[in-house]
Amino acid sequence: MELSLIRSLMEKQFYEEHRGSRCPMKLFSKDIQKVKRVIDKAMDDYDRSVSPDEVEALFLSDNPTLTTAQKQQYSALFGQIKTQQPMGKDIAQEVLSKLFQQVIGEEVANLGFDFVNGSLKSLQPLRNLLEVHGDDFIPKLQVQWEDMNMDRILDEGDLQSKWTFNIPSLARKVPGVNAGQLIEIGARSNTGKTSFHASLVMGPDGFADQGAKVIVLCNEETPTRVGHRYLTCAVGTDSVGIRKDKARHLATYRSKSRHLKFKDSTEKDMAWVESVCKYYKPDIIMLDMGDKFTSTANSASIHEVLKQNVMYARQIAKQQECAVFYMSQLSAEAEGRVVLNQSMMEGSKTGKAAEADLMLLIARNPPTENQTEEDTQRHINIAKNKLTGWHGMVTCEFDYKTALFSA
C-alpha cells in the first residue's frame, strides 16, 4: 500500500490534497520515509509533479555516501515504485485509512501499556490522539476561520478588563484581567502569595463582589488553611474578631462566597485541572501552587516539566475562557531583594515567563537588625505585562492578621 501511496505523492495535485497531517511521515517504513523527504523537497523547490526517475536522481544526489550495496537496495526499491500507478482519490482514501489504522492502533496500544505500568500518569495523551482522528482514522481538518468583523475586533481588542484589581496602586498600572489570560504570581516563601490571591477575590471590591465564579485548587496548603485567609479577607477581621460577632460575619462570608469553590488538588495533574474547568466553567481559577501539579511531560529536566505545566495552564485559559492565576515560588536569588525580575522564577528562568500575559512578583523589605514589628509593606514588581505594557514596581500594605492587601 505504501508504494502506491508514495508513487501518487509524486503527482502535484494529489500531493497538495494529502500533504501535512493528512499523510504524515509516520505512515511509512524507514526507507520510504527517506523517499518522501525527497518528494517533499522537490515539491517545495520545483512546484510541479515529478517522475519516479527524477525522484531517484534527486535521492542519489542527496545521498552521495551510499555504498554499492545500498545503491543496489534503493535501485530495487525505486524499481518497485516505478511499477505502481498513481491512485484515484477514492482508493487513496481507503489506503490512507488502512495505514492510519495500523499506526494509530499501535500508538493507542503503547499509550495504554504505559498507563497500566505507571510510566504515563494521565490518559490525556490518549484523549488528544483520539480527538484529532475520525472513524476512518484520517485526521480531521475542518478549519473554522475567525470572524474578524469590526465590532468584534473593537469589543475584544481593547484593554478594558472584566475583572478589576482591588489594590489601587496596582489597578492604576494594570486595571485587571480578562478571560483567556494567564497571570503568574511569584514570591519567596512566607511573603503572601496565598493572601494576595485571597485579597484579590474576597477583599473589598474584589472579584467576588464583581460576581466572578472562582475556583481555588490547593496542593501546598490544605483548603481549610487557604480558606481561612479567604474568610478573614471577606469579613475584614481576624479569627478573634469573627468569633465575637459570628452571626454577622457569617452572613457576609456566605454572601461573598456564593460563587467560590475550593478543592484539595494534591497529586493532580494539569489534565485534571482542564477537566474541572470544562465541567464547572469558572471565570477565574487559582492554582496554588501551579508548579506542584504533576506533569505528563516525559522529561527529567525540571525546567521542561515546569514549562509544560505553564504552557498547559495557558492553553486552559484560552480554550476554557477563564483567567488562570498560576502561583509559583521564586528562587533563592530573590531572597532579601525588593526589585525582582522574570529570571528569578524557580526552576525555569525563561520557560514560564514566556507564557505569561501578566507576571506579578511580590517582595517584602529585607529584615533589619533588632526588628521587632512585622513588616507590613509589600512591593509588587510588574515584571511582564502584555495587557497595558507598563513595567515597574508598585507598593502596597499587607495586613497579616486579615490577609488583606491595600493601598
How is the chain split into domains, by residue range?
2-131, 161-406
Q: Assign domain 161-406 one CATH number from 3.30.1310.10, 3.40.50.300, 3.40.630.10, 3.60.9.10.
A: 3.40.50.300
> Tell me, what's the pLDDT at 141?
46
- For residue 124, count CB atoms less than 10 angstroms from its CB and return exposed for 0-12, middle for 13-18, buried for 19 or more: middle
SS3 233: helix
Q: Which residue has the higher pLDDT, 86 or 141?
A: 86
> Tell me, what's the pLDDT at 47?
86
Q: Which residue has the higher pLDDT, 155 or 11?
A: 11
Contact indicator for 228, 237 with CB cutoff of 8 Å: no
> Tell me, what's the pLDDT at 130?
67
Q: HSE of 57 in the Cβ direction (CA atoms, 13 Å)?
A: 6
Q: Which residues on adjacent β-strands are paired with residue 214?
A: 260, 284
Contacts of 184 (CB under 8 A, 6+ apart): 290, 310, 326, 328, 345, 352, 353, 355, 356, 358, 359, 360, 384
Is the pLDDT score of 97 beyond 60?
Answer: yes
The percent of residues in the chain predicted with pLDDT above 90, rounded, is 60
> Tell me, what's the pLDDT at 222?
95
Is the pLDDT score of 158 beyond 80?
Answer: no
End-to-end CA distance of the chain: 71
Average pLDDT over residues 85-95: 78
> Would you place residue 297 in the very low, low, confident or very high pLDDT band (cuts 50, 70, 90)?
low
> Tell me, what's the pLDDT at 299?
59
Q: Which residue has the higher pLDDT, 94 or 277?
A: 277
pTM higher than 0.75: no
The helices-and-strands tally (H runs, E runs) of the chain is 16, 11
Contacts of 197 (CB under 8 A, 6+ apart): 185, 216, 286, 288, 325, 327
**Where would I find the H helices in 119-162?**
124-131, 150-157
Q: Cα 187 to chain center, whole Å?
A: 21
Contact indicator for 377, 336 with CB cutoff of 8 Å: no
- Listed ranges 1-15, 18-32, 217-231; the one with the highest mean pLDDT: 217-231
Query: For residues 281 and 182, what is the distance between their CA atoms, to the nearest angstrom?
Result: 16
> For the chain, how many residues are written?
407
- Degrees, nearest 5: CA angle 347-217-249: 130
Average pLDDT over residues 252-263: 96
Average pLDDT over residues 357-378: 88
> Tell me, what's the pLDDT at 103?
75
- Copy the grid coordinates of residue 55: 525522484
